[in-house]
Amino acid sequence: MKIAIFGLGYVGLTAAACLTKEGHSVLGIDTSESKVRQIMAGICPIVEPGLEDLLLDALAQGRLACFTDVADRLDDCDMAIVCVGTPSGPDGSHNMGFIAEVSRHIASALAPARERPFTAVYRSTIRPGTTDELIRPIFASLLGEDMPNVHIVYNPEFLRESVSIKDYFSPPKVVIGTADGQPNAHMQEINRNIDSKVFFTRYREAEITKFVDNTFHALKVSFANEIGRLSMELGISPQIVHEIFVSDTKLNISPYYFRPGGAFGGSCLPKDVRAFQHISSTLGANTPLIDSLIRSNEAHKRYLFDRCVKGLAPGARVLMVGLAFKTASDDLRESPNVDLARYLIQGGYELHVYDPSLDPAKLMGQNLGYAYSRLPTLGQILRPLEVVQASHYDLAIDANGTADLLDLQAGRTVDIHTLR
């Protein structure tokens, strides 16, 4: 294919070199005259192992030509790949100026009645909603709403500088965002030799991917460093702590405790996190990430409550399925579902709760005390299955992922267990 690449920085130049290696012809466009001049002279303008050799091969084979503007060169291209910068603005937002400018250049350079399919692929990191709300409107304003042969794709880039060529051919995953979440033929072609898991989504899921990944990487580094600082203060080897932590691929480095859904609770997590916060404060350590966990969890509980009662007038009949902190347990200690039940009662809703693992007569010790101190009417709100299945509710809340197994009559069901 003939592919135009806009923005010849770390992402664009790597893509240009790797695509020429795959046999495609690349037209590189960058507003920086010196960058274009250097590339055409066979000098790699950035430090990236292996890149200069690929560029020299591409130039020798006549597969790469770079310019400072696209002029009328786009019409015989099959694709454009946009890799321009999206630097931070003064308020922290991404500056979308280069994206808007390049989008106008691409749409203006395409013939309105183009018959060959053309795909404009965006790889720069952009705020979720940008393709729908900025890029597509620019294309539509210049080419008409219909654009039957022009396709817009959002395809986030996951390469790491210094190993970017290796990462280009072996990315951790490929995410292709399209208007309808369906595959795009040009993307299939350029990814033909890439053997990674591919996700086809709509634009917004693809756009948020990179933010989620990068934020998580930052979270991991900050978490590791807070644990490292605390370990040092406690005279503990951070390396040994790290080694033990990452060796646990069942619960630690794993999808476990990693699903959006309910808040954390139970007899261990809140208690031990609070105690760790206390240890940190007694050491005078500064651990803002660990310190924010309980607050974040409380914010999530309020969010779930607000989501459940949205549009529901006080007095409405509500059923909660699940009260214990997890399915198949009768432990109510610090269960987020107990807090939700309390918020619902305080909000004036008529609440029934069904939890097959719970029998108030069998609660003992701290579990009993906790349950009744938070929910004095526990004995009345807990209802047996026959009553629950024979009643009509305005709202059913699936708090433990088992509501689907019941035969319920409810005006609306909200799943807070998996945020579906």
Ligand X SMILES: NC(=O)c1ccc[n+]([C@@H]2O[C@H](COP(=O)([O-])OP(=O)(O)OC[C@H]3O[C@@H](n4cnc5c(N)ncnc54)[C@H](O)[C@@H]3O)[C@@H](O)[C@H]2O)c1
Any idea how long the chain is?
Answer: 420
DSSP 163: S
Known catalytic membership, residue 268 = yes
Does 8 contact ligand X by CB under 6 A? yes
Q: Residue 374 — φ and ψ, nearest 5°?
A: -90, -35
Point out the residue whose Cβ comes nearest to ligand X.
Answer: 9
Select the span of 27-35, 51-59, 284-292, 367-375 touching ligand X (CB under 6 A). 27-35
Residue 32 binds ligand X, judged by CB under 6 A:
yes
Contacting range for ligand X; rule: CB under 6 A; set: 30-38, 55-63, 304-312, 372-380: 30-38
Amino acid identity, position 163 = V
Comparison of 2 and 317: residue with beta carbon closer to ligand X: 2
The answer to whether 320 touches 399, Cβ cutoff 8 Å, is yes
Residues of this chain, 129-158, that bind ligand X according to CB under 6 A? 157
Angle subtended by helix axes 51-60 and 10-21, to nearest 10: 50
Contact 336, 346 (CB under 8 A): no
**Out of 44, 66, 268, 308, which one is annotated catalytic?**
268
For position 84 contacting ligand X by CB under 6 A, the verdict is: yes
Footprint (CB under 6 A) of ligand X, residues 157-216: 157, 159, 161
394 DSSP 8-state letter: E
Distance, in Å, from the CA atom of 64 to the CA atom of 40, rounded to the nearest integer, reads 8
Q: In what order do the strands lie in the sheet with 198-202?
A: 64-67, 25-29, 2-6, 79-82, 118-122, 150-154, 174-178, 198-202
Smallest distance, ligand X to C-beta of residue 131, A: 14
96 binds ligand X (CB under 6 A): no
β-pair partners for 121:
81, 153
**Number of residues binding to ligand X, judged by CB under 6 A:** 25
Residue 382: DSSP 8-state: B
Tell me which of 21, 24, 35, 333 binds ligand X, using CB under 6 A: 35
Which of these ranges, 9-17, 238-246, 282-290, 385-393, lies near ligand X under the rule CB under 6 A? 9-17
398 is a contact residue toward ligand X (CB under 6 A): no
By beta-carbon proximity to ligand X, the closer residue of 35 and 417 is: 35
Residue 30 in contact with ligand X, rule: CB under 6 A:
yes
| DSSP codes joined into one string, 39-100 | HHTT--SS--TTHHHHHHHHHHTT-EEEES--TT-STT-SEEEE-----B-TTSSBP-HHHH
Annotated catalytic sites, by residue? 268
Footprint of ligand X (CB under 6 A) = 6-12, 29-32, 35, 83-86, 98, 101-102, 123-125, 157, 159, 161
